[in-house]
Amino acid sequence: MGFQQNTLKKLSEILGISISTVSRALKDHPDISAKTKERVKELAATLDYEPNNFAVQLRTQQSNVLGILVPTIRNYFYDFFISAVEEEAVKHGYSIMIMQSLDKLSLEISNINVLRRNKILGLFVSISIETEDMTPFRKLQESGIPVVFFDRVAEVSGFRKVCLADEKAAQIAAKSIIEKGKKNVLALFGHPHLSITKLRYASFKNYFDIHARDSKVTYFFPEQVEASREVCLDVFKTEIPDAVFCMGDMILMGVMHAVHEAKLKVPEDISIIGISNGLIPTLYDPKITYVETSGFKLGKLAFKQMYASLKGFNEIEEVILDSVLVEGGSL
């Protein structure tokens, strides 16, 4: 509407001093006298003066925006991650711009361009399922925009990464299953293309190969809730495994549907263990035992990395966040 933004020029005219003096006064420049500063600040306050960010940014060639690029925000893990980053960002005076790739490469790339055009200071990214070429990210880095990968990280070196201890998480699960004496295990993982799946699968399998050669472990890679349910029901037709390992929440949900449909009691008839951010496992009764992978903690860690990079004192390439077993009653 008729609303007009106040500018330095306007203030300077009212006060009868120059624009540059006003600018300096507002920034507490040492050259400016206390009296002038006071006058300027008072007027600025009463007029609700707000600097025009575009002009500042054009002049200084940098924004205060950090980008986050995730497959989807409809996911507790990313939610928590984003929350954590945002919390820290606000503390340090940065803003956050969030974009979703929806696991599509084309969207990921166009989002990167949007972020670049918005002159983000730095980028947090968890790559899409389809991503293989790291060139766009390398380009960002080369143009001075630090990139911090998290969760689903680039498999090549030369990038900063914060990861969950994925091998460790899967190992902890494997160890727990073995310790409980479960010999016949159904292990369900996610999309086999993702490095997170590869890591978890490899270390889970490896742990069993070394510590429980006599166990029977069956592996499947269903991607979502429905696929997991179907895999389970299919397996149950032949035999009921002692324990089911679920790599993620979606898989767990599918498994639990199957377990109920097959009228199996947990943990009497069948044991369940998962890897999760924490909400879903607590919804069941008994609560599901799971290895915790905290998006929140990861977010805090990622921000630390980013901040260090922005300030130019980051030497560390990869940080790994440990996992913990949270006992429910399902194992």
Partner DNA sequence: GTGAAAGCGCTAACAA
Partner DNA sequence: TTGTTAGCGCTTTCAC
Which residue ranges make up the site for a copy of itself (CB under 8 A)? 1, 3, 5, 50-55, 57-58, 61, 63, 65, 72-74, 76, 79-80, 82-83, 86, 90, 95-100, 107, 110, 113-114, 116-119, 141-144, 253, 256-257, 260, 280, 283-285
How is the beta sheet containing 318-321 ordered, strand by strand?
A: 95-100, 65-70, 122-125, 147-150, 160-164, 318-321
DSSP letter for each residue of 246-309: ESSHHHHHHHHHHHHHTTPPTTTT-EEEEEESSTGGGGSSSPPEEEE--HHHHHHHHHHHHHHH
Considering the complex, state which of residue 26 and residue 134 has its C-beta at the smaller distance from DNA: 26
Considering the complex, state which of residue 59 and residue 213 has its C-beta at the smaller distance from a copy of itself: 59
Cβ proximity of 207 and 170 under 8 Å: yes
* Minimum distance, C-beta of residue 103 to a copy of itself, in the bound complex (Å): 13
Rounded CA separation 272/184 (Å) = 12
Which among DNA, a copy of itself, none contacts residue 166 (Cβ within 5 to 8 A by kind)? none
Considering the complex, state which of residue 18 and residue 184 has its C-beta at the smaller distance from DNA: 18
**CA-based diameter of the chain, in Å?**
89
Which among DNA, a copy of itself, none contacts residue 206 (Cβ within 5 to 8 A by kind)? none
Considering the complex, state which of residue 92 and residue 216 has its C-beta at the smaller distance from a copy of itself: 92
Considering the complex, state which of residue 47 and residue 202 has its C-beta at the smaller distance from a copy of itself: 47
Which among a copy of itself, DNA, none contacts residue 1 (Cβ within 5 to 8 A by kind)? a copy of itself
Applying CB under 7 A, the residues found at the interface with DNA are 5, 7-9, 16-21, 23-24, 26-27, 30-33, 35-36, 51-52, 55-56, 58-61
- Among all chains, which residue has been given the structure tokens 């050669």? 213
> What's the chain's Rg over C-alpha atoms?
26
Identify which of 144, 152, 103 has the alpha carbon closest to the alpha carbon of residue 124.
152
How is the beta sheet containing 324-326 ordered, strand by strand?
A: 216-220, 184-188, 243-246, 271-276, 289-292, 324-326
Which among DNA, a copy of itself, none contacts residue 257 (Cβ within 5 to 8 A by kind)? a copy of itself
Q: The tokens of 34 are what?
A: 């206390």
Identify which of 221, 222, 225, 273 has the alpha carbon closest to the alpha carbon of residue 245.
273
* Minimum distance, C-beta of residue 225 to DNA, in the bound complex (Å): 46
Q: The tokens of 214 are what?
A: 């006599």
Rounded CA separation 323/171 (Å) = 10
* Minimum distance, C-beta of residue 230 to DNA, in the bound complex (Å): 53
* Minimum distance, C-beta of residue 4 to DNA, in the bound complex (Å): 8
Which among DNA, a copy of itself, none contacts residue 27 (Cβ within 5 to 8 A by kind)? DNA
* Minimum distance, C-beta of residue 3 to a copy of itself, in the bound complex (Å): 4
Which among a copy of itself, DNA, none contacts residue 123 (Cβ within 5 to 8 A by kind)? none
